[in-house]
A and B are shown apart, each in its own frame.
Chain A
Amino acid sequence: MSDFNSLQRFIEGSEMARRVYLRQVRRIIGLFYLLISTYVPLMFGLTLIYLNFHTSLTIIDPVIQIIIYSPLVYSIYIIFSSILLFKLRKIPSVMKKIREIKSNKPRTSKIFYSSYFYYFLSIGIISSLGLYALLVGGEVGEVVEIVENFLILLLIIKYFYYLFSLLEVDKWDKEDYIALIGAIIGFIGGTVFNSYLFFVFSISWMYAGLSLLRKNW
């Protein structure tokens, strides 16, 4: 059996793996969009209950107050998002390895282009913004928090596109455009003009999530 035949089989096998990974990535992205899309309606609903019924619902009043004003809900969303992203952790390294084998070139490590560099840079920027928002407080603090959340979402979207580039996807799906445009309109409009515009973000992400899941489940 020649080396050429063996390599050919490996290339065919890796193409199968690429297709399955892509499906898996699309599904996780769909779930992620759907999960994040529920945050604004949930918080809006809880705030509405608290503001309209806080005199009649005295027993559950403090509970809702804690849920709204503490980072409890936010933390739950962070945990579930992390679990989803964690499921994709091995795909980049396997795809990189496949690419190296196919091109017969070992990977050269460059600190400024490595994923670790971006990872630590992102953590540093987000932590600094979080700390700044906490120290400043008030309306400025709230705006900084919104910017921080927007940045987190953009970084996660960037990570998804990094996965797409490894999986040799050269064309975005319409759901990706909808999610990106929805996030930009929702966050900028919601912060600058009217907070109801955050719903544009939620609705667009809900649609993108459901559509991706319908296609890839």
Chain B
Amino acid sequence: MTGELKEIIEIIKSPVFTSSVRIGILLILLGVDKITFTELLKSLDIPKSSLYYHLKILEENELIIIRDVITITRPRTIIQITPKGNSL
């Protein structure tokens, strides 16, 4: 096993990443920086309450920021990765 893999497994072992959905959300945000709640819901195909729960845990651990923004069409919830989340 390479050192990098060991390091990643150690990170995944932390309580924040006991769910694959949270790992998935963080990986998504590493590639796209920010995404809307609706888009994430459509793509992940999980219940709204479940997604909200996972997002709250990531937010409490300062890995993501959730903010509401007003756009031309309608208000949207944007999820953005933090520098701490990026550093993982």
A interface list, Cβ under 8 A from B: 1, 3, 6-10, 12-17, 19-21, 23-24, 87, 90-91, 94-95, 98, 100-101, 104-106
Contact = CB atoms under 8 A, between A and B. Distances in A.
Nearest to B40: A20
Given A13-B25, A106-B4, 16 more contacts: A3-B9, A7-B9, A7-B12, A10-B20, A13-B24, A14-B23, A14-B24, A17-B28, A17-B30, A20-B24, A21-B31, A23-B39, A101-B4, A101-B8, A104-B1, A104-B5
Task: For the complex of A and B, list the 3 residue pairs with the smallest distance between their C-beta atoms, beginning with the closest.
Answer: A13-B23, A16-B24, A12-B20
B13 A13 contact: no
Nearest to B20: A12
B35 interface: yes
A119 B24 CA distance: 30
Residues of A contacting B: mostly:
helix
Contacts of B62: none
Contact of A9 (B1, B20, B30, B35): B20
A196 B4 CA distance: 56
Contact of A10 (B12, B28, B35, B44): B12
Given A1-B13, A19-B43, A104-B2, A90 B32 contact: yes
B57 interface: no
A44 to B, nearest CB: 30
B87 to A, nearest CB: 14
Interface residues of B, number: 29
B68 interface: no
Contact of B32 (A12, A14, A20): A20
B21 interface: yes
Contacts of B26: 13
A190 to B, nearest CB: 36
21 contacts: A3-B1, A3-B9, A6-B13, A9-B12, A10-B8, A10-B9, A12-B23, A13-B24, A14-B23, A14-B24, A16-B24, A17-B24, A17-B27, A20-B39, A20-B43, A20-B44, A21-B28, A94-B31, A101-B4, A104-B2, A105-B2
Contacts of B21: 13, 16
